[in-house]
Amino acid sequence: MSDIRVGVIGAQGRMGSHAVEAIEAADGFVLTAALGSSDPIEQILDAKVDVAVELTVPGATEANVAFLVDHGIDTVVGTTGWTAERLDGLRTRLADQPQTAVLIAPNFSIGAVLAMRFAELAAPYFDSAEILEIHHTRKLDAPSGTAVHTAQRIARARADAGLPDMPDATDSDPHGARGAAIDGVHVHAVRQQGMNAHEEIMFGSDGEALTLRTDTFSTSAFMPGILTAVRTIGERSGLDVGLESYLDLA
């Protein structure tokens, strides 16, 4: 089998530069493009890539992915900022490219993917669930894509189990201390010097608590997930959200 031709967009960033190294070091891949913010995305066409890996910023990712889909290029996206509206627009675009696949993966770390799965399993059994995400101070968006995805999965699992709204007597919160409510699940974002990427998922019922925690200390944690996604995406079509759908953990 011939090597998969890969192009990285955002190749000078923290994630992108690490992805370039991981692709160059792994068997079965050849890196044919490494684009930074000043490189026109059209260069990806000359490089004849099979798979693009998009690791840029929330403000650029939607236009980049639209261009790649319109040119029939399978795309693995690690960039965050994919709202429900953006995802709907992408689904519409993909309908015109039925052979093309996009994976939007809010988190490529296996620990984070498993924590989200465990959270989904735990969700129906507890009255309360809240999420604390802690990141480095260079992060542009809040809450993290992982926290949004976790909250949505917890909310769906609670709804499927027929659980009522969570108990919460708060009737005054002038400073927003209860955080963001995503599908009814409260999410709290901390930005702290010295931290990297961390998430705690807290569950509670009368007399007991369960806390799930996932920590990534370095961008190296995300590389095996990126390589798995690049290896697998050629077998898929349409849009998947979450690496779990490529790992049989959905």
Ligand X SMILES: O=C(O)C1=N[C@H](C(=O)O)C[C@H](O)C1
Ligand Y SMILES: NC(=O)C1=CN([C@@H]2O[C@H](COP(=O)(O)OP(=O)(O)OC[C@H]3O[C@@H](n4cnc5c(N)ncnc54)[C@H](OP(=O)(O)O)[C@@H]3O)[C@@H](O)[C@H]2O)C=CC1
Enumerate binding residues for ligand Y (CB under 6 A): 9-10, 12-16, 35-37, 55-58, 60, 64, 78-80, 105-108, 222
**222 is an annotated ligand-binding site residue:** no
149 in active site: no
Q: Let me know: does 56 contact 10? Beta carbons within 8 Å.
A: yes
CB 145 → ligand Y: shortest distance, Å? 6
Query: What is the pattern of x (binds ligand X, CB under 6 A) and - over residues 72-91?
Result: --------x-----------
CB 143 → ligand Y: shortest distance, Å? 11
Q: Say how far apart CA 124 and CA 135 lie, in whole Å.
A: 28
Nearer to ligand Y, 14 or 236 (CB): 14
β-strand partners of 199: 133, 214
Which of 97, 100, 146, 150 forms a contact with ligand X (CB under 6 A)? 146
Torsional sign, CA 193, 199, 201, 207: negative
Please report whether residue 139 would count as binding ligand X according to CB under 6 A: yes
Residue from 241, 201, 184 nearest 111 by CA: 201
Residue from 65, 111, 120 nearest 224 by CA: 111
Question: Which residues, numbered 4-43, are part of the site for ligand X (CB under 6 A)?
Answer: none
Please report whether residue 188 would count as binding ligand X according to CB under 6 A: no
Sequence-ordered alpha helix ranges (H) in 201-245: 223-232
- For the packed helices 84-95 and 58-70, what is the interaxial angle rounded to 10 degrees? 10
Please report whether residue 144 would count as binding ligand X according to CB under 6 A: yes
Q: 135, 149, 186, 198: which one is catalytic?
A: 135
139 in active site: yes
Q: Let me know: does 123 contact 161? Beta carbons within 8 Å.
A: yes
Q: Which residues bind ligand X (CB under 6 A)?
A: 80, 106-107, 135, 139, 144-146, 197
Residue numbers in the known binding site for (S)-2,3,4,5-tetrahydrodipicolinate are 136, 145-146
